Structure 1
Amino acid sequence: MTIQEFENKYWYMSELKTLAKSLKIPVDSKTRKDQLEEMIIQFLETGTVNKTNCYRSKSRNRDILNSHTYVENFSNKKETWEFIHSEMDKRVPGLQPKSGAKYWLNRWIENKLSDGEKITYNDAICEYIRLNKTEGKLPQIPSCKFNNFISDYLANEKNATRKEALYAWNELKDMKVKKDYITWKKSTTLTQR
């Protein structure tokens, strides 16, 4: 299988796990879909997998939530986000969380910790504020091809309905092309000529 063949197919997580297992790529229950896709692409390119960028805390203890505490075991629990939102609101009253900001903060924390960098919750709060102050939309979440397609379809197709978006998605899913709105639009425009 080539990288292009891999990328031009829509993979469900169960299918990715089966493929990874057949390629002898180690996967655990905490591996995200985008991480698994990256590992498979790396394997297709090099024949090896580098799992060093997958941060896993060695401690099961929850971090104490205050600005000066080092992030060691970041938890995506309700209490953590209430703390982060409360701190953001103290610093920038009225700033609303953007779609995708939590995802991108999690990736930022993972990258810092997997690089061995020490960060505090103050650093994480500052990054979250920066993400939410960013002009325009944040980058789309890479492993959410379905959600990204539906969102782009509804934003770009005049008077589009969700039913039409789902029909278009199913059309795209069966094509051996990249799974995004732009590619679908180009493909359907070419077939209408």
Structure 2
Amino acid sequence: MSKLYQGMSQEEFDGGYFYATELKAFAKTLGITVGNLKKNELELHIKAHLFGYSGELPVAVPNRKNSAARDLLTLDTLVVNYVSDKKTKSFLLAAVEQQFGPLADKSGQWYWLNHWRKQCIGEGKTITYGDLVAHLASLKKKPGRLPQIPSARMNNFISDYLSDSENQGSGKNEALKAWYELKESALPKTYQAYKNAPALLAK
């Protein structure tokens, strides 16, 4: 298992696989405010600190502003105490279908919806659940695939594996097996690195 340390190279970081608890502890030693940042978001902040990653960094915005009950799920309700669970997602999906008709789900839609929500709140904007519905619909309507989730390496690997025509007929179990083989190697944790590694493909 790779170890996190301040003098590590970007190749070591990209080629390693680290648990969320390890990333949180390491981020704190770097002076990074962990807050409610997710694993992939922590990876981006650490890369920015160690290697000068210049992309947009996620903001640690709490889902709830106070200890009151969760938001009432109506289109006019302001997003204050948001809960990202099955109940909320079912409400948003039903509202999308009612307003925009049946729209196919997109891989990554919930990540990018939450990214937009946190961005709005971080900028001091007021949004309603109706705004969330409209943005979710816009994500579903985008042509092609949504952008990959930054640094969510396992999900991105599986998505790329299953979309490769060479793996037609393979399912998620095969993709996971390939991921775990790559995970144990020192290679970057990308599908392209896996494809370029004959020793892994031969297994």
- The reply to whether TM is greater than 0.5 is yes
Alpha-carbon offset, residue 63 of structure 1:
2.2
**Where in structure 1 are there 5+ consecutive unaligned residues?**
none
**Given the superposition, is the C-alpha separation of residues 24 and 65 from structure 1 closer, same or farther in structure 2, using an over 3 Å criterion?**
same
Say if 2:60 is the partner of 1:54: yes
Q: Counterpart of 2:128?
A: 120
Paired residue total = 186
Say if 2:14 is the partner of 1:7: yes
DSSP 3-state at the match of 2:72: coil
**Where in structure 2 are there 5+ consecutive unaligned residues?**
1-7
Q: Deviations over 1:26-53 (max 9, x none)?
A: 434x33102211221122146xxxx992
Alpha-carbon offset, residue 11 of structure 1:
1.6
On the 8 A contact 1:53/1:115 being kept in 2, the answer is no
On the 8 A contact 1:52/1:114 being kept in 2, the answer is no
DSSP 3-state at the match of 1:104: helix
Say if 2:107 is the partner of 1:99: yes
Bigger relative contact order, structure 1 or 2 (CA pairs below 8 A, ≥6 apart): 1
Q: Deviations over 1:124-150 (max 9, x none)?
A: 111000011112222233343123223
DSSP 3-state at the match of 1:71: coil
DSSP 3-state at the match of 1:39: helix
Q: Counterpart of 1:184?
A: 194
- Per the normalisation by structure 2, the TM-score is 0.76
- Between the aligned partners of 2:114 and 2:105, the Cα distance in structure 1 is 14
On the 8 A contact 1:68/1:122 being kept in 2, the answer is yes
- Between the aligned partners of 1:97 and 1:41, the Cα distance in structure 2 is 31
Runs of 4+ in 1 over 6 A off after TM superposition: none
DSSP 3-state at the match of 1:106: helix
Which of residues 85, 91, 101 in structure 2 aligns to 1:83? 91
Amino acid at match of 1:111: Q
Q: Counterpart of 1:20?
A: 27
DSSP 3-state at the match of 1:94: coil
- Between the aligned partners of 1:70 and 1:90, the Cα distance in structure 2 is 20
Q: Counterpart of 1:44?
A: 50
Alpha-carbon offset, residue 180 of structure 1:
0.9
**Given the superposition, is the C-alpha separation of residues 73 and 161 from structure 1 closer, same or farther in structure 2, using an over 3 Å criterion?**
closer
Alpha-carbon offset, residue 16 of structure 1:
1.5
Amino acid at match of 2:162: L
RMSD: 2.8
**Given the superposition, is the C-alpha separation of residues 168 and 77 from structure 1 closer, same or farther in structure 2, using an over 3 Å criterion?**
closer
